[in-house]
C-alpha cells in the first residue's frame, strides 16, 4: 500500500512547498470540500519564529489591502485565516513560473535575450495591473487606496503557462496616506529595483512603482542588469544616483519608440515620468499593434509552454496525482488532531491498492471515503434508531370540555329525532 504524509491547516491539505522567504512560506494546497468539491490554492503562512502580534499585523495589513484587488494581472487573495496560532493567506494558485525563473532559465544560452514582442507584452500586463492597484478603492468605504507596491521585481511577477502575467506579494505594500503618516525612512524592497526616492528613504508616490517597472524593461531589452552590484551598499548607491546608461549601448537594434518609453519611465524627475500605469500600457500597446500586429497572448502561451515543456509536464503530473488526494479511491487517517508547536497537523494519505479513482467511482464507494477522521467514519456506520411517536398528556380541563361538547351534541341529536318522530306520528293518526 502506497502512502504519503501531508500537513493540513484548516480545511486545506498542504501538498508541496512552492517558495520560502524571510517572512513566510508558500504552499500548493487543496481545499477539502463536501462531496469532494475542491480546488487548488496557494497558502502563504508565517514562519514559526515570526508568530506574534507583529507578524499577525503584517499579515492582516497585506490581507486588508490585497483582498480589495480583483484584476487579471494581480494574484487574487481569497481569505485571511488563523489556525492554532498560525496566520495564513489563501491565494490564487498560478500554474506557471516567475519572470525571474524565466530569465534564469535562458541565462547563458544563445537565446538569453527575450524576443522584443514578449518583453513588451509582459511589461504592458504589469503596467495594467499596477494601474488597477494604484487606483483601486476600498471595498467598503469606496475611498481610493492609492496603493504603492514598493517591491516590483522579476521574482514578484508570475507568468502562467497560458500566458497570464500576474503581480504577487503585496506584503510590504502601503497606501500613500499610510506611508506619509509613518514617514519612518525605513527602506524596504529589492534594492536593485528601487526608484531613487525609495532608495533614499524619501516619501513615495505612485510613479515609484512605474520606475521599478522601467528598470525591469531596461534589463529585459539590454539583457543586462541596471543598478545591481555584488555589494548591497553599492547597489543602493546606484539606485540613489539613478545613472541610466543609453540602452543602445547594450542593444543597438532597439526601436526609437522603446528608447523613448524607457527614458520617460526612468526619469529621475518624477513629473517627467508616466503618471499612471495605463498611459505606459497605452504606449506599449500602440507599439505592439504597429510593429507586431499579429502577436497575441496565445503566441506568448506557446512560447511559455515550449520554454518550460519539461517543467510543465512534471507539474501537470504532480497536479494529477494531487487531484487524487481525498478523492474516490483514497482513504484518510488523522494521525494528530492537535498541531504541535503551531505546526499544521499531519495526515497520512493512502491509496487503496487495486482500485483506481475511476473504478472507485463506478463501484459507488460510500461517502464515508470523503470524510476526514475515523470518528466521522464511525458515526456514519452507526444505525439511526427509528423514531417512536411521543405520547402527550392531555390536561383534565381539556378532557372535560371535550366530554361536555360530546354530551351537548348527543342531546341535540336526540331532540331532532324526537321532533321528527312526533311529526310523523301526527300525520299517521290523521
The backbone region for 4, taken as left when phi is positive above 0, alpha when psi lies in -120 to 50, beta otherwise, is beta
Residue 356: CB atoms within 10 Å: 13
Residues 6+ apart with CB under 8 A from 329: 351, 352, 355, 356, 357, 359, 360, 361, 365, 369
Q: Where do the DSSP E strands lie in 177-269?
A: none
Instruction: List the beta strands (DSSP E) in 316-420.
Output: 330-334, 345-351
Coil, helix or strand at residue 46: strand
Beta strand segments in 36-142, E:
40-46, 77-83, 86-92, 96-98
Residues marked active site are found at 151
- Angle, helices 207-222/256-265, rounded to nearest 10 degrees: 140
**Residues 172-206, buried b or exposed e (16+ Cβ, 10 A)?**
bbbbbebbeeeeeeeeebbbbbbbbbbbeeeebbb
State the virtual CA torsion across 188, 69, 80, 175 in degrees, nearest 10: 40
Residues contacting residue 417 through CB under 8 Å, at least 6 positions apart: none
Q: Report the C-alpha gap between 76 and 151 in whole angstroms.
A: 17
Those residues whose C-beta lies under 8 Å from the C-beta of residue 392, and which sit 6 or more positions away, are none
Of the candidates 196, 126, 197, the one whose C-alpha atom is nearest the C-alpha of residue 158 is 126
Angle, alpha carbons 351-321-76 (nearest 5°):
130
159 pairs with which residues across the strands? 97, 165
Amino acid at each position: 500500500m502506497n502512502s504519503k504524509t501531508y500537513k493540513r491547516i484548516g480545511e486545506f491539505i498542504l501538498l508541496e512547498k512552492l517558495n520560502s522567504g524571510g517572512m513566510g512560506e508558500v504552499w500548493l494546497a487543496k481545499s477539502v470540500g463536501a462531496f469532494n468539491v475542491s480546488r487548488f490554492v496557494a497558502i502563504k503562512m508565517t514562519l514559526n519564529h515570526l508568530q506574534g502580534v507583529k507578524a499577525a499585523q503584517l499579515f492582516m495589513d497585506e490581507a486588508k489591502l490585497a483582498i480589495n484587488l480583483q484584476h487579471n494581472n494581480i494574484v487574487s487573495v481569497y481569505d485571511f485565516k488563523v489556525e492554532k496560532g498560525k496566520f495564513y493567506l489563501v491565494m490564487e494558485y498560478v500554474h506557471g513560473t516567475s519572470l525571474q525563473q524565466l530569465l534564469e532559465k535562458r541565462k547563458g544560452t544563445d537565446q538569453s535575450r527575450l524576443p522584443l514582442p514578449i518583453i513588451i507584452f509582459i511589461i504592458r500586463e504589469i503596467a495594467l495591473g499596477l494601474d488597477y492597484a494604484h487606483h483601486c478603492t476600498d471595498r467598503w468605504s469606496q475611498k481610493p487606496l492609492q496603493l504603492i507596491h514598493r517591491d516590483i521585481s522579476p521574482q514578484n511577477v508570475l507568468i502562467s503557462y497560458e500566458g497570464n502575467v500576474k503581480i504577487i506579494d503585496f506584503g510590504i505594500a502601503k497606501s500613500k496616506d499610510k506611508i506619509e503618516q509613518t514617514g519612518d525612512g525605513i527602506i524596504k524592497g529589492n534594492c536593485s529595483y528601487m526608484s531613487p526616492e525609495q532608495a533614499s528613504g524619501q516619501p513615495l508616490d505612485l510613479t515609484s512603482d512605474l520606475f521599478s517597472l522601467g528598470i525591469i524593461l531596461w534589463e529585459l531589452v539590454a539583457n543586462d542588469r541596471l543598478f545591481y552590484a555584488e555589494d548591497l551598499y553599492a547597489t543602493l548607491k546606484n539606485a540613489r544616483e539613478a545613472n541610466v546608461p543609453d540602452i543602445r549601448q547594450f542593444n543597438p537594434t532597439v526601436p526609437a519608440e522603446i528608447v523613448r518609453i524607457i527614458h520617460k519611465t526612468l526619469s529621475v524627475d518624477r513629473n517627467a515620468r508616466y503618471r499612471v500605469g495605463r498611459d505606459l500600457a497605452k504606449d506599449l500597446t500602440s507599439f505592439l499593434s504597429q510593429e507586431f500586429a499579429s502577436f497575441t497572448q496565445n503566441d506568448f502561451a506557446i512560447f511559455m509552454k515550449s520554454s518550460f515543456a519539461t517543467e510543465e509536464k512534471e507539474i501537470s503530473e504532480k497536479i494529477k496525482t494531487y487531484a487524487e488526494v481525498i478523492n474516490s479511491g483514497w482513504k484518510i487517517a488523522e494521525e494528530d488532531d492537535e498541531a504541535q508547536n503551531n505546526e499544521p497537523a499531519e495526515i497520512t494519505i493512502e491509496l487503496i491498492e487495486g482500485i483506481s479513482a475511476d473504478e472507485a467511482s463506478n463501484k459507488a464507494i460510500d461517502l464515508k471515503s470523503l470524510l476526514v477522521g475515523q470518528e466521522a467514519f464511525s458515526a456514519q456506520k452507526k444505525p439511526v434508531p427509528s423514531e417512536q411517536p411521543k405520547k402527550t398528556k392531555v390536561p383534565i380541563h381539556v378532557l372535560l370540555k371535550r366530554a361536555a361538547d360530546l354530551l351537548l351534541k348527543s342531546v341535540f341529536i336526540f331532540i331532532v329525532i324526537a321532533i321528527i318522530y312526533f311529526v310523523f306520528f301526527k300525520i299517521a293518526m290523521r
